[in-house]
Amino acid sequence: MNQQLRGLARTYLPILDWGRSYGRGELSGDLIAAVIVTVMLIPQSLAYALLAGLPAEVGLYASILPLVAYALFGTSRALAVGPVAVISLMTASALAPLNLSSVSEYVAAAGVLALLSGAMLLLMGALRLGVVANFLSHPVIAGFITASGLLIAASQLKHILGVPLHGHTLPEILLDLARHLGQINLATLVTGIVALAFLFWVRKGLAQVFHARLGLTKPLAATLARVGPIFAVIGTTLAAWVLNLPSLGVAVVGEVPTGLPPLGLSGVDWGLVPALIGPAALLSIIGYVESVSVAQTLATKRKQRIDPNQELIALGAANISSSLSGGYPVTGGFARSVVNFDAGAETPAAGVFTAVGLLVAALFLTPLLYFLPKATLAATIIVAVLSLVDLSILSRAWRYSRADFAAVFATIALTLLAGVEVGVASGVLISLLLFVWKTSRPHVAEVGQVPGSQHFRNILRHKVETDPGVVTLRIDESLYFANARRMEDLILNRVLRDRDSLRHVILMCSAVNEVDFSALESLEAINRRLDDLGVKLHLSEVKGPVMDRLARSHFLEDLTGRVFLSQYDAFAALRMNRADRM
């Protein structure tokens, strides 16, 4: 019993596992990684909060307790959770239709969204439903992330240009933009462009400077370069203060409350729950997929393992703690996790140290952010999300298969034109329908024996031996209701073409992984109809599980022909019979 409890505790609290052997080596790695990630996270968390339509400090709050919660429950050693771009966009899109009147109501609604999302993730984890995420195909995810990146970048143009934009779809944003083109604020535009240019240079240039001038190794230089955005923050904040840019119309972050995050849920309108359930579900699944794939990749590099179902629980706990400490929905982020990993984080303790760093920022640094231009934060977001945009997925999918292309194209087009929720839901639906459509039209080959071998190949592609009395059809798909009737027609038409000489039809089932009840009835119908035509039906190479199932019906007793273990046996036996008769 005690043993069992301890096992349970170790499953649900992985910290008991790595915490036990925590030593000085782990500590130094974790501390260095935490410093770098903290400096990287400060501007990012402020920027993503603005993207979600929330006050800047909400981003900081969402980067404190959630990191501690993940450190307790998470199975990845290097995942860094917090606000991320796509989830922030989805939060904005979920809150917009609520038409709330005050900022504090928005903040409370974002908390409810995080709470719902956390509860769903916990529930999925408890039910071990991590598999649900599998129904998001790679092209749909890639298309969705690319389209979201474009949407986010477009939506941030307002901060760079200093004009108000309100749309949540690309046409709305572009129309708004065209309407306000005359009102562009020059000082804001200059600030934004300088910040953008600096940040684009930082991505490549800063690492070279660190490497060439400071003599750091290339990987270390690359990792340190990830703190680059903080220089843009410091530079433009100083410029805004010294040059008094707000007087020229440059929007700045302004008053940010100092202190601990507010604990508990306050001012929550529980009437919002029904409207937020759907968005919370989509956001949870997208966040989970993004987080787990990052965690998986990093874990394998160090030959570690993650537990997908425990990850659901950890992300659920992170979101619930975010909702209880003034935050909004969070998940594991790609860029920050890679930085954390590269900077040497050994255990989730790095996340706790990062949380302490951000707590310090929330306690003492917020007054310094008064003059931080919103254009700088927008530039941070644009540079970050443009690295997510990968339109090559379109051409790669096109080259590989038209069905995958259709799914990715529809996801991108609908996300841009109709918003994130419609986009991702349609993508999932379209990929399921295309899969069913494909399996409903299976590849069927008429095969013959390769001379001098026991192999059977497509008669259209290979020079093979056939027999006028026997036709063998190899069915390259599981037999189920959507293709069962097609199979009936196909076999019947083939038999009627040679009805005078044909005596035997063999179905070669090496690729038939399943025969459902509809297909069983179709096989029975085929068997009866062929019998009416004086033709016997045989099966070959039927798999064990399929055979087990067929044996539960009357089919094998009613079958006019036999079931052969191998196609070679079948062909040899049936053509021999014919030879006897001649």
Per CB under 8 A, which of residues 287..306 are in contact with its own copies?
296-297, 300-301, 303, 305
Instruction: Residue 394: name the closest of 136, 86, 135, 139 by CA.
Output: 139
x/- contact string, 407-436, with its own copies (CB under 8 A)? -x----------------------xx--xx
Part in contact with its own copies (CB under 8 A); list of ranges 36-44, 73-81, 195-203, 543-551: 543-551
288 vs 328 by CB, closer to its own copies:
288
139 binds its own copies (CB under 8 A): yes
227 vs 298 by CB, closer to its own copies:
298
**CA distances, 360 to each of 105, 233, 261, 325 (Å):** 27, 18, 11, 15
137 binds its own copies (CB under 8 A): yes
562 binds its own copies (CB under 8 A): no
309 binds its own copies (CB under 8 A): no
Among positions 23, 134, 242, 463, the unique one binding its own copies when judged by CB under 8 A: 134
The answer to whether 474 and 456 have CB atoms below 8 angstroms apart is yes
Residue 30 Cβ vs its own copies, minimum distance, rounded to whole Å? 22
Collapsing DSSP to helix, strand or coil, 28 comes out as helix
Among positions 6, 257, 499, 576, the unique one binding its own copies when judged by CB under 8 A: 499
The answer to whether 468 and 498 have CB atoms below 8 angstroms apart is yes
Residue 397 Cβ vs its own copies, minimum distance, rounded to whole Å? 5
Among positions 81, 318, 520, 537, the unique one binding its own copies when judged by CB under 8 A: 520
Residue 150 Cβ vs its own copies, minimum distance, rounded to whole Å? 21
579 binds its own copies (CB under 8 A): no
Residue 165 Cβ vs its own copies, minimum distance, rounded to whole Å? 34
285 binds its own copies (CB under 8 A): no
**CA distances, 461 to each of 448, 451, 457, 491, 566 (Å):** 10, 14, 8, 20, 21
- Strand ranges for 1-106 from DSSP E: 81-82
560 binds its own copies (CB under 8 A): no
What angle is formed at CA 398 by the lines to CA 150 and CA 172, rounded to 5 degrees?
Answer: 25
404 vs 467 by CB, closer to its own copies:
404
Helix axes 273-301 and 334-342, enclosed angle (nearest 10) = 30
Instruction: Residue 251: name the closest of 162, 151, 344 by CA.
Output: 162
Residue 382 Cβ vs its own copies, minimum distance, rounded to whole Å? 27
* Contacts of its own copies in 12-71 (CB under 8 A): none
136 vs 152 by CB, closer to its own copies:
136
* Contacts of its own copies in 113-132 (CB under 8 A): 131
Amino acid identity of residue 206, one-letter, is: L
The whole-angstrom separation of Cα 417 and Cα 415 is 6
Q: With helix as H, strand as E and coil as C, how does 288-335 read?
A: HHHHHHHHHHHHHHCCCCCCHHHHHHHHHHHHHHHHCCCCCCCEECHH
Residue 225 Cβ vs its own copies, minimum distance, rounded to whole Å? 25
395 binds its own copies (CB under 8 A): no
280 vs 487 by CB, closer to its own copies:
487
Residue 434 Cβ vs its own copies, minimum distance, rounded to whole Å? 9
Taken in order 535, 536, 542, 548, the sign of the CA dihedral is positive
Say if strands 536-540 and 504-508 run parallel, antiparallel, or are unpaired.
parallel
The answer to whether 372 and 252 have CB atoms below 8 angstroms apart is yes
Among positions 485, 494, 562, 578, the unique one binding its own copies when judged by CB under 8 A: 485
452 binds its own copies (CB under 8 A): no
Among positions 186, 481, 501, 576, the unique one binding its own copies when judged by CB under 8 A: 481
Part in contact with its own copies (CB under 8 A); list of ranges 176-184, 218-226, 418-426, 476-484: 476-484
100 vs 403 by CB, closer to its own copies:
403
Among positions 440, 466, 560, 577, the unique one binding its own copies when judged by CB under 8 A: 440
Residue 137 Cβ vs its own copies, minimum distance, rounded to whole Å? 3
The whole-angstrom separation of Cα 212 and Cα 570 is 72
Q: With helix as H, strand as E and coil as C, how does 395-408 read?
A: HHHHHHCHHHHHHH
Residue 162 Cβ vs its own copies, minimum distance, rounded to whole Å? 41
Collapsing DSSP to helix, strand or coil, 166 comes out as coil
Report phi then psi at 289, rounded to 5.
-60, -45
The footprint of its own copies on this chain (CB under 8 A) covers a number of residues equal to 73
